[in-house]
Amino acid sequence: MKIGIVNDTPMMVEVLRRVIAETGRHELIWIARDGQEAVQMCAWQLPDVVLMDLLMPKMDGVEATRRIMQDTPCPILVVTSDMGTSAGKIYEAMGHGALDATQTPALIGAAGKRDAAALIEKIDNLGLLPPEAVAPPAKPRLPPLVTPVSHDGGDVPLVAVGASAGGPAALSVILKSIPRGFPAAMVIVQHIDAAFAPGMAEWLQQQCALQVRLAEEGDRPRRGEVLLAGSNKHLVFKGEGMLGYTSGSPGDVYRPSVDMFFHSIVKHWQGEATGVLLTGMGRDGAAGLKALRDNGYHTIAQDQKSCAVYGMPKAAVALNAAVEVLPVTGIAARLQGILI
């Protein structure tokens, strides 16, 4: 794959250059010293993956990500040496379409080797994702609105949400619009590395009136609580309304997988449920959302205009998996309408 590096620190650039060179299968095609230059370089020669730093002069990585995804969209991986202090900017960048984030490897030592391996694994995974069409697809036709069938046996209505690139911002918009006393439980599977999940849960907690925390093995969804997948394993229902994690197979591209989560609802959840598929690159969640709809659950896909990356919802619409296709600003109100 062709790689572009965006970083203003010579030492960090050299570390990333060495990591890429040592793979023998990826090619560094350009280096940008700030976000403004990165936007120009992407317009000149679009890479398969951009390794984006956050703190830079002239234009930071957040604004550069926004402009690149707006003008010349391509996979962006945030690579930063300040994971702790840059948590807010990481989620801002992901809100604009960055796909993932990881630590900048150290030049030497065991930790450096571990971080370098993690970086290469993420680059390789991005290369497995299907490319997104550059031309805007035809406007999807909304399926007819149907009344979801009743699923007896569960007292707590469930809102099951899947998201990827652009998900943090979309989730923030939705959660900000949900009042305290929301009569359902919400479980979110967002494509994000486990190392960033605690920070994301804290960040989302600041955005809303509901309690937000990481899902733990054995958890049961509760009204007014938001559970976020917090592992590189897959979050699924394992029976009797109980959540847990499973390793899946080594070749799984998406970790955690929205499809596996949605399919586990069909298999193990006995109560009412609404499936929501938000912005993201690729197809994860589309087949799972179709399974939910086919089993009588209400399903919602985010519309193209409000998506940072119209990949996952687009795939769901193509499968006729969505009962409704809505802008992100209308999803919270619709959820409340369904639950009243």
- Of 86, 96, 100, 164, which residue is the catalytic one? 164
Residue 132, amino acid: E
Burial pattern 15-48, b for ≥16 Cβ within 10 A else e, equals bbeebbeeeeebebbbbbbbbbbbbebbeeebbb
- Of 191, 234, 298, 306, which residue is the catalytic one? 191
153: tokens are: 């046996």
- Of 34, 115, 219, 284, which residue is the catalytic one? 284
- What residues have CB less than 8 Å from 69, skipping those under 6 apart? 76, 96, 97, 308, 309
- What residues have CB less than 8 Å from 268, skipping those under 6 apart? 236, 237, 238, 239, 240, 241
Q: Which residues pair with 302 in a beta bridge?
A: 326
Alpha helices in the chain (DSSP H): 10-23, 35-44, 61-71, 87-95, 109-128, 167-176, 197-205, 258-268, 286-294, 312-318, 328-339
Is 298 tagged catalytic? Answer: no
- Please report, for residues 21, 43, 120, 331, the alpha-carbon distance to residue 26 in angstroms, rounded to integers and kept in the order given: 7, 20, 10, 40
Q: Which residues pair with 102 in a beta bridge?
A: 79
Is 264 tagged catalytic? Answer: no
Is 249 tagged catalytic? Answer: no
- Active-site residue set: 164, 191, 284
